[in-house]
Structure 1
Amino acid sequence: MPGEAQQPCWLCGRPLGARIEWHHPVPKSRGGRETVAVHPLCHRTIHATFTNAQLARDFAGPADLRAAPAIATFLRWIEGKPADFHMPTRGAPRRR
């Protein structure tokens, strides 16, 4: 809605850009229903770093996720980049 303040990204805290994705902090496959707004790159980084089982067990809250070493490194790197910044996500292919 015009004039409405836009919420920040759930993971990095930067303002959201034109593209927004919705992340389930507790994966749907693990019974999660809540969704939170994130940048596409933040969303891809979460899922490239952790399995759904790990997310459900250890990282359902943003503080726990941000404290994980791989995510903390990503957050330091992404800080200050424009809201619509995007690049390919690197990560080893894995099973969910």
Structure 2
Amino acid sequence: MARHQTGRCELCVRYEVTLTEHHLIPKEMGGTFLDTAMICIPCHKQIHALYTNEELAARLPSIEALRTDEKLSKYIKWIRKQPAGRLVRTRKSNSRRGYGR
């Protein structure tokens, strides 16, 4: 399968976006040969900006779990309204940066 393709994001459900393969269980946590999802680049970047690989493996191992997570569901609600070609800036959350610990 090609690394990038165009289609519908499994997370935000936008059409005609560039997709990347997201390992639902991160590769470094043993997910190399497990399930993947095709999601758009902004959603993929946002997932990794909000959560560590340990959090993804333990709490968010499916698209449905990602969709219903409080932090990410706000982002999904917003990104669905954005045009497919829009470039979205992504910043790490304060918890990922080490603030507020």
C-alpha contact 2:24 2:61 (8 A) present in aligned 1: yes
Q: What's the offset of the Cα at 1:7?
A: 4.8
Give the % identical residues.
33
Structure with more strand by fraction:
2
* Structure-to-structure mapping, 1:77-96, within 5 angstroms: 77-92=78-93, 94=97
1:13 corresponding residue in structure 2: 13
Aligned length: 89
1:3 corresponding residue in structure 2: none
Gaps of 5+ in 1: 1-5
1:24 corresponding residue in structure 2: 23
Gaps of 5+ in 2: 1-5
SS in 2 for 1:85: coil
1:69 corresponding residue in structure 2: 70
If asked which structure has higher relative contact order (CA below 8 Å, sep 6+), I would say: 1
Which runs of at least 4 in structure 1 moved beyond 3 Å after TM superposition? Answer: 92-95
Q: What's the offset of the Cα at 1:38?
A: 1.1
Q: Under a length normalisation based on structure 2, what TM-score does the superposition of the two structures give?
A: 0.76
Q: Under a length normalisation based on structure 1, what TM-score does the superposition of the two structures give?
A: 0.80
CA–CA separation in structure 2 for the residues paired with 1:21 and 1:94: 24
